[in-house]
Structure 1
């Protein structure tokens, strides 16, 4: 996203055809892994 500066973490519910954006993070924030708790 945005020139490959960000990562998008999403949950996809195929049965209801909905996508939920969980997080929009920089690569540094993503690599730290604090969002995954």
Structure 2
């Protein structure tokens, strides 16, 4: 649940994360097969 008083800061954070997603690269798994 998001407190209505925090809505603007949450939306700003989410938009910032979405904007940064275009500039970041995802590192592939370099140490073998991931296992649970």
> Does TM, normalized by the shorter one, top 0.5?
no
Structure of larger gyration radius: 2
Higher helix proportion: 2
- The alignment's TM-score, normalised by the length of structure 1, stands at 0.22
Higher strand proportion: 1
- The alignment's TM-score, normalised by the length of structure 2, stands at 0.22
Which is bigger in relative contact order (C-alpha 8 A, separation at least 6)? 1
